[in-house]
């Protein structure tokens, strides 16, 4: 089984770590669009099946949907989390090949999925494990060690210059 953290590092390496305009954060939307070839859609009041979702990955539509009612930092984590589903299920890079796979599962990701960690033993189903792995992937995609060090250096090295 692929290690989510390693997959996140590989993804960053392969896509060249695109940054937001401020240079201080990873541009996850660009990774989704340019690297995974998955569309990112911002949708208000996202609840396709009656429960409010943070985000959703729909392989059939080749799209990630993000609930845009949430704050931006939340939306960024959601996009990273959904990229995790894309890559953990279908491998890094172009997601087009997923159309050949049977059993295309839509991931509907809720607030409650978010709190799950590797140590939570209340849920052992495959689905829960997939959510945990997507969260691990997202955390590493958004905060690679190199970027954290670089921003810290900028903050502390140039502030008084």
Residue-wise DSSP of 140-151: HHH--HHHHHHH
Closest distance between Zn ion and the C-beta of residue 146, in Å? Answer: 26
Q: Whose CB is nearest to Zn ion?
A: 109
How far, in Å, CA of 31 to CA of 88, rounded?
15
> Closer to Zn ion at the Cβ: 29 or 131?
131
Scanning the structure block, which residue is given the tokens 């299920």? Answer: 89
Q: Which is nearer to Zn ion, 39 or 111 (CB)?
A: 111
Q: Which is nearer to Zn ion, 26 or 132 (CB)?
A: 132
**Nearest distance from residue 152's CB to Zn ion, in Å?**
30
Residue number, 109 or 142, with CB nearest to Zn ion: 109
Residue 7 binds Zn ion (CB under 5 A): no
Site map for Zn ion, 95-134, x if CB under 5 A? ------------x-x---------------------x--x
β-pairing, 107-109 with 39-43?
A: unpaired
Is the distance from CB of 4 to CB of 136 less than 8 angstroms?
Answer: yes
Say if residues 99 and 145 touch (Cβ distance below 8 Å): no
Task: Tell me the helix, strand and coil percentages in the chain, rounded to 5.
Answer: 50, 10, 35
In the block, residue with structure tokens 């997601």? 95
Shortest spacing between CB 72 and Zn ion, in angstroms: 19
Number of Cβ atoms within 10 Å of the Cβ of 128 = 15
Site for Zn ion contains 83 (CB under 5 A): no
- Closer to Zn ion at the Cβ: 29 or 108? 108
Q: Which residues bind Zn ion (CB under 5 A)?
A: 107, 109, 131, 134
């Amino acid at each position: 089984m692929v290690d989510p953290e390693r997959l996140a590092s590989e993804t960053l390496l392969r896509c060249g770590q695109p940054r937001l305009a401020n240079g201080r954060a990873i541009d996850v939307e660009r990774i989704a669009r340019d690297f995974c070839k998955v569309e990112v859609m911002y949708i208000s009041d996202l609840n396709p099946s009656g429960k409010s979702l943070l985000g959703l990955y729909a392989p059939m539509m080749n799209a990630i949907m993000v609930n845009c009612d949430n704050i931006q930092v939340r939306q960024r984590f959601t996009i990273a989390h959904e990229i995790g589903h894309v890559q953990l299920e279908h491998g890094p890079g172009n997601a087009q090949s997923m159309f050949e796979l049977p059993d295309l599962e839509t991931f509907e990701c809720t607030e409650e999925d978010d709190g799950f960690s590797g140590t939570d033993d209340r849920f052992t189903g495959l689905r829960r494990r997939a959510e945990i792995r997507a969260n691990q992937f997202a955390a590493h995609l958004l905060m690679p060690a190199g970027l954290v060090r670089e921003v810290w250096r900028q903050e502390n090295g140039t502030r008084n210059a």
